[in-house]
Amino acid sequence: MTEDVSPRIASELRDIVDAIESDASDETFASLPLPESMRAATVHKDEIGMFEGIPSEEKDPRKSVHIDEVPLPELGPNEALVAVMASAINFNTVWTSIFEPLPTFNFLERRGRASALAARHDLPYHIMGSDAAAVVLRVGPGVTKWKPGDRVVVHCNDVTLEGPEGHDDSMMDTGEGIWGFETNFGGLADVALVKANQLMPKPRHLTWEEAASMPLVSCTAYRMLVGANGARMKQGDVVLIWGATGGLGGFAVQYVRNGGGIPVGVVSSEKRVGLAKALGCERVVNRRDLPSVWDDAGTKQDTKAWVALGKAVRELTDGEDPDIVYEHPGRQTFGASVFVAKRGGTIVTCASTSGFMHEYDNRYLWMNLKRIIGSHFANYKEAWEANRLACKGMVHPIMSRSFPLEEVDEAAWQVHRNMAEGKIGIRVLAAEAGRGVTDAAMRERHYDAITLFQREA
């Protein structure tokens, strides 16, 4: 993938990085000249057909992701330009890079039609990335809460809030879109364009890449389990967590434990069984020990496999069924999830990694008064609360490794093929891993928990 980018970019951005690392004054940040162009991880509109006829799992981000030199985006009202020290791979970066379930250029074109300002997003390239730990460089007209020099993390909920729909819960905004997926100018670039109401304080005890690896999955898990809009877990609830050492699952384990629930993890290897236990999930099922749910053709489910999962869970819970099933694998697991949930229980879902056409036996849902809740990212308040817990050391990053921006394609490939545990961080302007900590004493107190996945995954 790696195209050479001009050394001029590095030298222009060097002053910005030096100012960040020397903790320069706010005035210095405000007066720093911005480069005209920057490095960015992109996919190209003229390549959206490149994987036609190839099975999903073989579509390779290493063929579609580019590191380009592109102009800095224009700053608009209520927005900020931020210097991205680190970002992270999310599964939406995988979807973008394999053009599934549809090319993200469709989102950018639709957004571009909304207004003259929004037209900035409709470009022949898409800068990906929905997480960032960054430093504010410039704020647009109307921004009062943030200023150049502020160290921040970015949550990915981009809203307009022009209509009434989003004013109880901004996820209901008709203009809502996920930054870096449904918008351009995401976090996998030297400089990102965000709405100012995406910014939150960076946890001071974390490195840039650790901080960047948290917001998208942590805030999503918070809404699904803790916030008022999800399954509203209570003390003692048994929560079945698919992918308990993955991005979403690793935060679900932490929220369930914090809230006095009983996490039961599902993972796919003995190594991950050990990792889930180290994270505090004492009850773990290795799904490789269970019969396969679907036949080889992927057309019919074996309901005996649902029963086997339910039995495995009961063996770990003194016979109790899950009050909540935390769903995201989708087609492969959804039938089993509906089956194993307790009478009156909740299946909360935010994704369909293995396929979005789900099949389940509705008798188990209605006769047993279960409910399914759809959930998607988090509103600003939920995101802020999740980040507050991170700042207080009450949830910790689950980053297992980090790559430089130039290797973002390899990182996306590893996430696509379920090769990585926890999260993969991407170092953008951070020259090396381990930078960005401004509260060493707090880091020391939580060191084992912060570095768990870096040591054991």
Retrieve residue 87's tokens.
């970002």
Which residues, 6 or more positions from 272, have their beta carbon under 8 angstroms from its beta carbon?
244, 245, 286, 421
Going from the C-alpha of 86 to that of each of 66, 388, 404, 427, 449, the distances in angstroms are: 18, 19, 9, 4, 20
Binding ligand NAP (rule: CB under 6 A), the pick from 42, 207, 229, 332 is 332
Q: Minimum CB separation from ligand NAP for residue 154, in Å?
A: 15
Q: Which among 377, 328, 28, 70 has a CA at the least distance from the CA of 230?
A: 377
Strand, helix or coil for residue 265? strand
Q: Which among 14, 5, 7 has a CA at the least distance from the CA of 41?
A: 5
Buried b / exposed e over 79-108, threshold 16 CB at 10 Å, is bbbbbbbbbbbbbbbbbbbbbeeebbbebb
Site string for ligand NAP, 418-437 (x = CB under 6 A): x-------------------
Q: Minimum CB separation from ligand NAP for residue 419, in Å?
A: 9
Interface of this chain with ligand NAP, residues 348 to 377, rule: CB under 6 A: 350-351, 353-354, 376-377
Binding ligand NAP (rule: CB under 6 A), the pick from 188, 216, 226, 386 is 216
Per rule CB under 6 A, is residue 89 in the interface with ligand NAP?
A: no
Retrieve residue 158's tokens.
């981009």
Q: Minimum CB separation from ligand NAP for residue 204, in Å?
A: 25
CB of 121 or CB of 328, closer to ligand NAP: 328
Per rule CB under 6 A, is residue 243 in the interface with ligand NAP?
A: yes
Q: Minimum CB separation from ligand NAP for residue 328, in Å?
A: 4
Tell me the residue number closest to ligand NAP, measured at CB. 246
Per rule CB under 6 A, is residue 415 in the interface with ligand NAP?
A: yes
Per rule CB under 6 A, is residue 347 in the interface with ligand NAP?
A: no
Count the residues of the shown chain that bind ligand NAP, applying the rule CB under 6 A. 30
| Alpha carbon distance 6, 187 (integer Å) | 20
- The stretch near ligand NAP (CB under 6 A) out of 59-67, 169-177, 214-222, 382-390 is 214-222
55-59 — which CB contacts under 8 Å span 24+ positions?
A: 56/98, 56/100, 57/416, 57/417, 59/98, 59/99, 59/100, 59/416
CB of 148 or CB of 243, closer to ligand NAP: 243
Binding residues vs ligand NAP (CB under 6 A) = 90-92, 216-217, 220, 242-243, 245-249, 266-268, 272, 287, 328-329, 332-333, 350-351, 353-354, 376-377, 415, 418
